[in-house]
Amino acid sequence: MSARPAAPAAGPSAIPAAGSPGPAGSAGDASGGPRAARRLGPVALVVAGGLSVQFGSAVAVLLMPRAGALGVVTLRLVLAAAVLLIACRPRVRGYGRADWGTVLAFGAAMSGMNILFYLSVARIPLGAAVTLEVLGPLALSVIASRRLVNLLWAGLALAGVVLLSGAHGGGFDRLDPAGAGFALAAGAMWAAYIVFSARTGRRFPQADGLALAMAVGAVISLPFGIASAGDKLLEPSTIGLGLGVALMSSVLPYTLELLALRRLPAPTFAILMSLEPAIAATAGFLVLHQALGLADALAIGLVIAASMGAVRTQVARSR
């Protein structure tokens, strides 16, 4: 789930997508080049971020026997914060109380989302956890959208994630109740993350806000990780794997999502998040050797159809 340009965030009508025509005679349209690349940009960033975060989550599952769920969260956020602070060297002067409040809220949402998600995947399969978690962004898409058709796309995506849960978790009724509860709570924090990520991008240049929020999240998670894993967090092999998780699950995807939210409306972004269970199933197959069946393929088709429908709806609105 994240460097951002300094311009204000785009409004709901700002996202074009593949295939929508530009002004007559536009050079970019003739070759499908720069203009088409800009149109595909936000959607491609979201998909790339999803691939990174879910494969990072699969690696994190492999790391849990060494450091535990809370230890993995701490390694992920602390190392990601260190990388971003060194790379961005964010300016800390010249911001008001509202700016810092937004960063604190973003960092708290990020930390809560990660803690709850890893507590979930420690108890239930990765595909089922992501399936439940994505209900948060789906709910946000319905609440925030002003177009009735988005209810259709959200419902289609919901059918896909429910089907995927049945394929990977044996159905919601047979999941560990605590694990399912943690996943649902992580989904609520994910919805908050989407909101405050966009606000942070509008208030801070480049990736400064992300770096500062990641530091806030790291500070919040640190006591939990120390209490859970202790000196295991200092083992070189554990730190190495933790750095990989941090880069794949935090630095790269959060940066990509911040870039995407610059030009992508929150409702469309939230529905695109329905791709996450499909990506998680693929990561589970390739990294954790979880088999993919017919139900998985159908679920993936449903969520992809919902995502494409959401993008095309936004194209029609922006014409």
For residue range 263-280, list pLDDT tens digits in order: 777 667 766 766 777 788
Over residues 214-234, the pLDDT tens digits come to 999 999 999 999 998 888 888
Q: Determine how many CB atoms are found less than 10 A away from the CB of residue 7.
A: 11
Over residues 269-308, the pLDDT tens digits come to 766 766 777 788 788 778 877 666 677 678 777 877 777 6
Pair of tokens at residue 219: 């500070």
Q: Given pLDDT bands bounded at 50, 70 and 90, which one contains residue 85? A: very high
Looking at beta carbons, which pairs linking 313-316 to residues 24 or more positions away fall under 8 Å? 313/147, 313/149, 313/150, 313/153, 313/268, 314/15, 314/17, 314/265, 314/268, 315/15, 315/16, 315/17, 315/19, 315/20
Q: Is there a domain that residue 198 lies in?
A: yes
Q: Is there a domain that residue 8 lies in?
A: no
Q: Which residue range forms the structural domain that includes residue 201?
A: 38-318
Q: Is the predicted pLDDT of residue 6 greater than 80, yes or no? A: no
Do the beta carbons of residue 260 and residue 5 sit within 8 Å? no
Q: Is there a domain that residue 3 lies in?
A: no
Position 106 scores a pLDDT of 95
Q: Is there a domain that residue 227 lies in?
A: yes
Q: Which residues contact 239 (CB under 8 A, 6 or more apart)?
A: 75, 79, 233
Q: Is there a domain that residue 6 lies in?
A: no
Position 260 scores a pLDDT of 82
Alpha carbon distance 69, 4 (integer Å): 30
Q: Is there a domain that residue 23 lies in?
A: no
Do the beta carbons of residue 292 and residue 285 sit within 8 Å? yes
The residue to which tokens 């230890």 are assigned: 71
Mean predicted confidence (pLDDT) in 86-106: 91
Number of domains in the chain: 1
Q: Is there a domain that residue 296 lies in?
A: yes
Alpha carbon distance 112, 130 (integer Å): 15
CA 15 to chain centre: 19
Over residues 152-191, the pLDDT tens digits come to 877 887 787 777 666 555 555 566 888 889 998 999 998 8
Do the beta carbons of residue 305 and residue 156 sit within 8 Å? yes
Q: Is there a domain that residue 22 lies in?
A: no
